[in-house]
Every structure is written in C-alpha cells, then in structure tokens.
Amino acid sequence: MKHSLEKFNRLVDSLQELPTIGQKSATRLAYHMVMTDSFGALKIAHAIENALGSLRKCHSCGGMSEDELCYICSNEMRNHQLLCIVENAKDILTIEDNGLFDGRYFVLKDLKESTITHLKNMVESGIEEVIFALTPSIANDAVILLIEDKLQDVSLDFTRIAQGVPTGVSLENIDMLSLARALEDRVKV
C-alpha cells in the first residue's frame, strides 16, 4: 500500500534521524503529535526553536550556555583549582548529574594550537589539578600525553578517571555509580 502522506512522512523521517529513535517510534511520535496532541507538538516545535536560538558555547569552557559564560564558569562557589577535561559538552551534563565534581570544565574539541593556547590560559588562572575524563582508548592516551607535554611549564597535577570505566565506552553510557567511582578514584598520570 502506497502512502501519499508526504508531509507526515517527512516528519517521521526527521524524527527517525534522532539518536535512539527507530522507524516504529518515529511513526508513533509523529502520529501522537499530529493526531493526538497538536498543541503539545507546537510547544515542542517552539521549545526547539527557542533552544536553538539561545544556546551557544561558553566562551571559557566550551560547554553549553545561554550567556557568554556558562553557569559553571560564572559560579564563584565552584572549586577553581580543579579542571576536568572532557570530549564534548554533553559529558559536562553527565558529570554534573552525579554531582560529585565541583570544579570547572574544558571541552577539548580538537587539538589545534588555538585550543591548546586557550586551555593553557585557563590552566594558568590558578588550576592545580587537571583531570582527564576522556573515553579510555589508545587514541586518548596519546591525547593525554600531548596535553601534558603542552602544559609542562605549568606546575600541575595530572589525573585521569579510574580505569573502572571500560575501554571505548563513552561517558554518557557509563552508569552513574561507575562514573562517580571513576571520578573519586582518579589516578595520577
């Protein structure tokens, strides 16, 4: 049977491009939005538009923010001696969720000279310990060595989250307890 619901199908296709959404869920969601709760659907559309329009990267850490500085970087109560290096802005949300870390973050989006310089400036503002919360992998071992090398002029402790985190598993897929333990049991590098 051939559907001729062109616009509905386009909605299904768009939803299906989202992470964790398969075709069945996409169809269910689209049906719900269009047929069951069109007001709710408009609210979602509006929320997406608003979020897209106001979200940007924190000028300091590269995390998600709606202002020049994110709520973490602008919070004077946070520990300004600890800096946690993560791979992407979403990892900050994951670590914040477990509430065990009260330092600041740096999103290491690439290894360009400008990124390293930015990191160095941040570290030189009184950081005493740099914690690498990167997905354990051989490639990231090399990243850690490189960063350590680039920051060798600054007097710092370097640690990494404990090896309890399985190799190749990204932070968002680690259960909270393991992540909390990995942060607490961090080891010197």
**Residue from 15, 26, 29, 73 that binds Zn ion (CB under 5 A)?**
73
* Number of chain residues interacting with Zn ion (CB under 5 A): 6
For Zn ion, give the closer residue by CB, 68 or 184: 68
Q: How many CA atoms lie within 13 A of 62 on its CB side?
A: 20
Radius of gyration of the CA atoms of the chain, in A: 21
d(CA 91, CA 105): 10
The pair of three-digit structure tokens given for residue 156, joined into one six-digit string = 């710092």
Contact 82, 125 (CB under 8 A): no
**Residue from 12, 26, 29, 70 that binds Zn ion (CB under 5 A)?**
70
Restricting to residues 25-64, name those near Zn ion by CB under 5 A: 58, 60-61, 63
Restricting to residues 117-176, name those near Zn ion by CB under 5 A: none
d(CA 117, CA 160): 21
**Minimum separation from the CB atom of position 35 to Zn ion (A):** 42
**Minimum separation from the CB atom of position 61 to Zn ion (A):** 3
List interacting residues with Zn ion (CB under 5 A): 58, 60-61, 63, 70, 73
